[in-house]
Amino acid sequence: MSTDLKSLIRDVPDFPKPGILFRDITTLLQKPEAFRLAIDRLVERFRGDRIDQLVAIESRGFILASAMAYQLGSGLIPVRKPGKLPSHKLAETYALEYGTDTLEMHSDALAGGQRVLIVDDLLATGGTASAAVSLARRAGGDVVGCAFLIELAFLEGRQRLSGLPVFSLVTY
C-alpha cells in the first residue's frame, strides 16, 4: 500500500462550479488501507492531547471524526447546516468567496472546559473551520486544535484559526 495519500485524491475540475478544482477524497476512502492510514496518522498527532470531544463539520468531517473519536475514546459532536439538528442550537454565519453560509451546533453539546478538536476533510479559506471554532467556544469548549485531511495552503486558511495548532495530512 502506498503511503502517498495525495496520489489517491481525485481532482474534479469545475465542481461545484466552473473554475473550481474539487479535491475528492472518496477515491481515498474506497481503499481500506489508505483510509486506515489517514485515520491512524490523524489520531497519532492528537493521541496525547486528552481530547474530550471531536467537533465534526458536515459532512465529510463526520467520516473522519467518527473513526478518530473511536480510536481516541472521545465523544463526537456534529456541526451541521441549518435546520438539520433537532434541539436548541447555536448558529454561526460566516463569509464565503461568493456569499455567506451558516453552521449550527446543539447548545448543550459541550460541558464547560471540555477539550475539543475540530475535524474536517478540507481547510481552504478557513471560514468553515473558524465558524466551528467559534461555535465550540461559545458552547464552553476549550478548542485545542484543528485536524484536516487536506489543506489548500495557498488560500491561507490557517491564518483565520486564532493561532490554533493546525494539522493536515496532504497539502496543496
Phi-psi sector, 165: left (phi>0), alpha (psi -120 to 50), beta? beta
Give per-residue pLDDT as tens, 73-83.
999 999 999 99
Residue appearing with cell numbers 494539522? 167
Residue type, 162: S
For the chain, the domains span 49-171
- Let me know if 97 is a catalytic residue: yes
Judged against a pLDDT cut of 90, whether residue 51 lies above it is answered with yes
User: What pLDDT sits at residue 98?
Assistant: 72
Give the integer Cα–Cα distance in Å for 82 and 132. Answer: 13
Amino acid 2: pLDDT: 47
Active-site annotation holder among 45, 50, 97, 151? 97
In sequence order, what are the beta bridge partners of 57? 79
Cis peptide preceding 16, ω within 30 of 0: yes
Q: Is 60 a catalytic residue?
A: yes
Q: For the domain covering 49-171, report its CATH number.
A: 3.40.50.2020
> Could you tell me the pLDDT band of residue 1, with boundaries at 50, 70 and 90?
very low
The model's confidence at residue 96, banded by pLDDT at 50, 70 and 90, is confident
Q: For residue range 21-46, what is the model confidence (pLDDT) as tens digits?
A: 999 999 999 999 999 999 999 999 99
Digit-coded pLDDT (tens) for 114-136: 999 999 999 999 999 999 999 99
* Catalytic residue chosen out of the listed positions 41, 47, 50, 60: 60
Listed residue (45, 40, 47, 27) closest to 67, CA to CA: 40
DSSP 50-92: ---EEEEETTHHHHHHHHHHHHHT-EEEEEBSTT---S-EEEE
